[in-house]
């Protein structure tokens, strides 16, 4: 059986006041082309299709177009679980009607789990759909006071699945959770925490029963312990903490014994999200940027000393999508700037001297102090 695993589309996402819909439409077109080429038995979308519970109209229209093309034009079944960004009720709307067409959506957590069965040449494969599970909802649904966090909630869900699972057949779990194994997983800034205080973790050992666990929530493609527990990652970069990541689609091939092989197909975004740094003059030099996509989304670190007027305006004459600017600190080990408790005791000259040293890493010379003293005198005289 061939499975395409994706998730965390976050359609309708806004990054630094930029609507990402155009970029998402571009990358989803590539995704549809990949589905048409690979002809999988099923497409899995592991949550966070939308970026917010009430998505904008253009986000709803885009998702409808993509699902319709995969389902109706390519005749490929789709399985979806709700993520923590999605509205489970909105995502589930019409799912019973569309099930006959091959669209399976699990928005709200069921009391009992019945697998969706898809057959290949080697027999049935059972798919269990588990949407994002808030521990409070799971505790109330199963009337179990021992459910106190995401880990105990998932444990209770897996115990429910075990009641009817056929371990002699191949079984796949689809869920949206923060799963960790013995080794740490990579996270990034664009992932919304599932809870406060570190109680959002789910132990990967809960999923040992399954031949493959398709995860959503973390935006970097990665395995959790073994290849059979995997995050597909997001289709696009949504924060500069992801600038080194390679986004991809996971293609899973499962044999008749349930053994899997994973192939990751990288995507080519309309605009990448990159970090660049250097002196302003160099960054504006055509020889420097001629081999790059100047339309990428950029975080720029300026290495010039001193102040520069209208850095953003100058940069955007070449790079129209600069989203963030940082200025490198030139403070050196030998230059100590003492503020703290003595801050209130310092006069204007001392404070300005400290500020200059922290900004440039250089001493505030006597010549500069004399200039500042004269300026301060003029200001004081004008104020009288």
Per-residue pLDDT of the chain (384 residues; tens, 9 = 90+): 999 999 999 999 999 999 999 999 999 999 999 999 999 999 999 999 999 989 999 999 999 999 999 999 999 999 999 998 888 777 766 566 678 789 999 989 998 999 999 999 999 999 999 999 899 999 999 999 999 999 999 999 999 999 999 999 999 999 999 999 877 676 776 665 554 444 588 999 999 999 999 999 999 999 998 999 999 999 999 999 999 999 999 999 999 999 999 999 998 999 999 999 999 999 999 998 999 999 999 999 999 887 788 999 999 999 999 999 988 765 454 444 444 445 555 677 777 777 777 666 677 788 888 888 888 777 777 655
Query: What is the spatial distance between Cα 342 and Cα 11, in angstroms, rounded to a whole number?
Result: 51
* C-alpha radius of gyration, the chain, whole number: 27
Query: For the whole model, what pTM was predicted?
Result: 0.82
DSSP bridge pairs for 5: 44, 250
Q: In what order do the strands lie in the sheet with 322-327?
A: 273-278, 297-302, 322-327
pLDDT confidence of residue 58: 94
pLDDT confidence of residue 309: 86
The structure tokens listed for 364 are: 């505030």
pLDDT confidence of residue 2: 98
**Domains of the chain by residue range:** 2-266, 273-327, 340-382
For the domain 2-266, what is the CATH superfamily, name and number? Metallo-dependent phosphatases (3.60.21.10)
Exposure string over 291-322, b if 16+ CB within 10 A, otherwise e: eeeeebbbbbebebeeeeeebeebbeeebeeb
The structure tokens listed for 213 are: 């666990």
């Amino acid at each position: 059986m061939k499975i395409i695993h994706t998730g965390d589309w976050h359609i309708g996402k806004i990054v630094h006041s930029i609507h990402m819909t155009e970029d998402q439409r571009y990358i989803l077109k590539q995704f549809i082309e990949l589905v048409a080429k690979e002809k999988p038995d099923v497409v899995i979308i592991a949550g966070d299709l939308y970026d917010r519970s009430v998505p904008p109209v253009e986000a709803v229209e885009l998702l409808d177009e993509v699902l319709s093309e995969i389902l109706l034009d390519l005749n490929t079944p789709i399985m979806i679980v709700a993520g923590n960004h999605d509205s489970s009720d909105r995502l589930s709307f019409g799912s019973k009607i569309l099930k006959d067409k091959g669209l399976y959506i699990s928005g709200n957590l069921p009391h009992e789990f019945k697998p969706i069965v898809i057959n290949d040449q080697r027999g049935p494969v059972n798919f269990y759909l588990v949407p994002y599970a808030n521990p409070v909802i799971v505790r109330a649904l199963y009337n179990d006071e021992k459910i106190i966090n995401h880990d105990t909630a998932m444990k209770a869900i897996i115990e429910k699945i075990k009641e009817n699972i056929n371990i002699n057949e191949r079984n796949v779990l689809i869920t949206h959770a923060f799963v960790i194994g013995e080794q740490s997983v990579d996270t990034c800034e664009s992932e919304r925490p599932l809870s406060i205080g570190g109680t959002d973790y789910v132990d990967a050992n809960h999923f040992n029963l399954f031949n493959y666990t398709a995860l959503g929530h973390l935006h970097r493609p990665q395995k959790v312990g073994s290849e059979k527990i995997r995050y597909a990652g997001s289709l696009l970069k949504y924060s500069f903490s992801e600038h080194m990541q390679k986004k991809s689609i996971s293609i899973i091939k499962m044999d008749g014994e349930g053994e899997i092989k994973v192939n990751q197909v990288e995507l080519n975004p309309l605009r990448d999200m990159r970090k660049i740094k250097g002196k302003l003059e160099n960054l504006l030099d055509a020889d420097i940027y001629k081999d790059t996509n100047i339309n990428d989304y950029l975080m720029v670190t300026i290495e010039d000393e001193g102040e520069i007027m209208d850095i953003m305006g100058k940069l955007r004459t070449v790079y129209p999508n600069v989203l963030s600017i940082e200025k490198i600190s030139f403070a050196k080990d030998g230059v100590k700037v003492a503020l703290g408790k003595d801050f209130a005791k310092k006069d204007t000259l001392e404070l300005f001297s400290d500020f200059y040293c922290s900004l440039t890493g250089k001493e505030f010379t006597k010549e500069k102090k004399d200039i500042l003293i004269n300026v301060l005198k003029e200001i004081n005289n004008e104020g009288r």
